[in-house]
Chains A and B, each alone.
Chain A
């Protein structure tokens, strides 16, 4: 059993920050477990989503920002839809990811690397270039064999473009990324 020493690790400022960024009142959670019961990812989580809510109430910043669950959450909105107290749980999972990123943490590195590769592609072309994003992911993770089995299934279908679809306004899109970087470093 995990024991949480509230007096040593409670971070109230963290709770306030998550509440502000998500617009949710975490005190409303009464641990009914509905969110966990409906979460399709519980089998792969290191902390089930209802326990994330409990640890959040207890201000356990370090545990939460380092956990794997927040990177495996697929934003399926099951928890948000089913929470009897109308807590937007999926939004809280998102905000925890935002904070983990700001602290340079990623409990599931490959998931983050894949998402970043996707966004880099959008930044470069204005639209995601699927094959390019996959190539970036493979390069950054060294996982060369990822989905090699799918190649013979999909390439003959002519669905995978070998060239990015650059848009005219790609600089405009790039500037959204740049301004975001600028704003978040303020």
Chain B
């Protein structure tokens, strides 16, 4: 690991609301690892999916406003936990490399764009800049016995030309971090399948079907919990789990953690600092099951 870098941090709007536990656990974990996150001053919304369905120069301008502020603050790397923000920020950075496109964006922003900082997900920063081995060194309470399926969602790694991180079909960064935290990672074949994204409000039926498939598959694999890196995925799988159950005629109750929450638990950070109480499906049963399993294995090993 090189000396810990300072990152310009872009929390994203959901971090102030429906994914606040992702935001607080991300900050807590990064702090524990010695990373400095400096919030982009007065950051604004990247426009998420709705903006790029309107126009590409428009969505780029909304993202570029934030990148410009970070550049002015002298920060060369922007990091965000949210894959949707990540896509927008990264795409914006790519788009303005085209001089003609850049001019259009500068008209919308009414000002010239400086050289824009590079953008990476917090997951990438943890995996590439810090590294799974250093993460493992910080583990005080390994998650031994906890069986998890890592779910990356559709856009953390795709398309590869834009995201430039991990593998677009079989990403492993989260798996490796979870292993470093002591958890048992069960291979999950649907790790990059879409959960229904923001269609939850307008087309609940579509989301119920897609998340239902994810939850049902994870349950079939016998996992204690799903682990996510995306606020929308987490919300669809956790908050809407009963809608999916109703659509499928199932009764699954699988907790859906943010990977940062589990890292934090392994670092022995207090539950409040990780927002465990914000999850809709209570995760404590799964954590207890894992502990018992670990205990039983230990006893079996000792008596063997």
Contact = CB atoms under 8 A, between A and B. Distances in A.
Interface string B189-212: 000111011111111111001100
A90 B198 CA distance: 16
Contact of A98 (B20, B55, B202): B55
A45 to B, nearest CB: 10
A76 B194 contact: yes
Q: Which of A40, A113, A158 has the most CB of B within 10 A?
A: A40
Interface in A104-122: 108, 110-111, 113-116, 118-119, 122
Nearest to B281: A153
Interface stretch (A11-19, A46-54, A174-182): A174-182
B239 A154 contact: yes
A137 B201 contact: yes
B177 interface: no
A75 interface: yes
B154 interface: yes
Contacts of A147: 200-201, 204
Interface residues of B, number: 62
Classify chain A's interface size: 35 or more
Contact of B45 (A72, A98, A122, A158): A122
Interface in B34-89: 42-45, 47-58, 61-62, 65
Interface of B: 13-14, 16-21, 42-45, 47-58, 61-62, 65, 104, 107-110, 154-155, 158-160, 168-169, 192-194, 196-206, 209-210, 239-240, 242-243, 277-278, 280
Given A130-B14, A176-B62, 9 more contacts: A74-B198, A81-B169, A101-B53, A113-B202, A114-B50, A149-B242, A154-B239, A159-B18, A169-B42
Interface of A: 40-41, 43-44, 72, 74-78, 80-81, 88, 90, 94, 97-98, 101, 108, 110-111, 113-116, 118-119, 122, 126-128, 130-131, 134, 137, 146-147, 149-150, 153-154, 157-161, 165, 167-170, 172-173, 175-176, 179-180, 183-184
